[in-house]
A and B are shown apart, each in its own frame.
Chain A
Amino acid sequence: MRYLIILMGLICCSPVVAQDANGLLKQVRAKMAKVKDYVADGMLKTDVSFMNIPDSKVKVYFRDPDQFKIVKEDGISILPKGGVSVSLNSLLSNKDFVAVAGGYTNWNNKKLAVIKLLPVQENSEVALTTLYIDEFTALVYRSTTTTRDNGTYETQLQYGRYASWGLPDKVLFTFNTRDFKLPKGVTMEYETGKKKPAQQKATDGKGKVDITYSSYQINKGIPASIFSAGKNK
């Protein structure tokens, strides 16, 4: 009898929790909906065991609903496939998914609500997204996204001047990498006899991309052509 009461209680309570998850998500989306487009200046740092790339100034473009692009002016930028998840706006904009509450967790001395997003469409590239949200500010501080083809991504966000728009000052993006190897006979390698710092790093199969934003220009309008031009010329 006691177990029946507990079970009934759980069944009765679950719609309330689901309602909370959707409500919180609605707040997050409402905050993000204020941003129709932005151009941001930032500093891109790439930390991948087999890559030796200098830190570089980049421009980051976003246009509602999910167009996102990181461009190094007159230079080369290398980003993980599916890197669109770097932007929460593009991750959440106009996507159909079911929100499930996942309780609370402490992260960096913050109590964050955990919400899991399950895609409605069967052929969706994203299999599962978990958001860690501060209920008071409706800001997402962390997210993990598991995709069908490109592994799992984790995004950590830090907020500052643009928190009221839901835009971060810093994004740390962690992703899975595969080994990179070419035959030495092809590359005609010059052996320096010393291991370079990039090769000395532990190869745990993870790569990191870190973008520190210095400024945003929000809702000034961006031509669609920016998102189609300049890919691997």
Chain B
Amino acid sequence: MWQLLRIELYKIFKRPRTYISFAAIGAIVMLILLAFYVDGRNYMAFGLQSLTQTFDIEGKVLNGYLICFIILQTLLIHVPLLIALVAGDLVAGEANMGTLRLLITKPVSRTELMFSKFLASVVYTMMLLVWMAILSLLVSVLVFGLGDLMILKSEEVVVLNKADVLWRYFAAFGFAAIAMTTVAALSFLLSIFAENSIGPIVTTMSVIIVFTILTTMDIPVFNKIKPFLFTTHMIGWKGFFDAPVVWESVLTSAGVLVLHIIVFVGAAIAIFRRKDILS
């Protein structure tokens, strides 16, 4: 199994396209940091205008923790595309190159093969998130310093003491790992139905975009179906920035996502085991 995983990781990290994701995240984070470094005060004045009409806000609102929160909010919508780029290619890419049939002739069970491929996509996802965490949290804090975290919600302003913030980010990145693994699992499942990787990548992104729109629109008709969409639970990392944390909701969301992962990967393995491989 370990040998299979190493081979799959080698295949992933040998492709130049894998590094596009790391470069893209690096570029986006640096652009956001530059924008806030140059014109952060105006951004803040605009963002806080509903509050500053009535209140005087003293202190360092624009700090590394806030920038990291903004980056996470921005990037975690786009990162699924970068994950689908690799996870959607795992099986479909092999089918496209004609190596899939050759691969299953090896003395390895199809279950092990699929599981190793999925694990490789999980490793890639984790590395991408660690890269994102280093850039968004560490670099932001180095550039903008530490401070209390002020979060504007739709009907509430939450201020967290700076000593009470770091563990929330670790927890949030841990939750994001589960959320992004769900995307990888979906893309992996779709990958077994296609002969080239474009199909599963585009389908994964289409599902996420449509579901995200349904999740963010505050319309009563959509509110009934929201709990059943995995995208609703993908933003559960924000639950760690409530005071106090509503653990029941956050853990429920994490559970729903883990269930999705099990169903997607289980279905992918079950279908692949019975699939007639012709390419």
Mark A residues whose CB is within 8 Å of B: 50-54, 56, 69-72, 74-81, 83, 150, 177-178, 180-194, 196, 198-199, 230-233
Contact = CB atoms under 8 A, between A and B. Distances in A.
A166 B150 CA distance: 35
Contacts of A50: 155-157
Interface string B150-177: 1011111111111010000000000000
Contacts of A194: 246, 248-249
Interface stretch (B4-12, B22-30, B55-63, B108-116): B55-63
Interface in B128-150: 146-148, 150
Nearest to B240: A190
Given A51-B156, A69-B58, A190-B235, 14 more contacts: A50-B157, A52-B157, A52-B243, A74-B59, A76-B58, A76-B59, A76-B60, A78-B55, A79-B56, A180-B155, A181-B50, A186-B154, A191-B249, A232-B45
Given A56-B161, A190-B235, A196 B55 contact: no
Nearest to A58: B58
A232 B48 CA distance: 10
A71 B161 contact: no
B154 A189 contact: yes
B148 A75 contact: yes
A54 B147 CA distance: 14
B159 to A, nearest CB: 4
A198 B156 CA distance: 8
Contacts of B155: 50, 180-182, 199
A149 to B, nearest CB: 10
B73 A75 contact: no
20 contacts: A52-B156, A56-B161, A71-B59, A75-B147, A76-B59, A78-B51, A78-B56, A181-B154, A182-B154, A184-B154, A188-B73, A189-B153, A189-B238, A190-B238, A192-B239, A198-B156, A199-B156, A230-B58, A232-B57, A232-B58
B61 to A, nearest CB: 6
A46 B156 CA distance: 13
B162 A233 contact: no
Nearest to A55: B161
A68 B237 CA distance: 40
Contact of B61 (A74, A76, A83, A198): A76
B80 interface: no
Nearest to B59: A76
A54 B58 contact: no
A102 to B, nearest CB: 29
Contacts of B50: 180-182
A198 B243 CA distance: 10
Query: Looking at A72, A177, A196, which has the most chain B CB atoms within 10 Å of its CB?
Result: A196
Contact of A180 (B51, B62, B243, B246): B51
Contacts of A231: 56, 58
Interface in B233-253: 235-239, 242-243, 246, 248-250
Contacts of A185: 216-218
Contacts of A182: 50, 152-155
B275 to A, nearest CB: 38
A101 B159 CA distance: 43
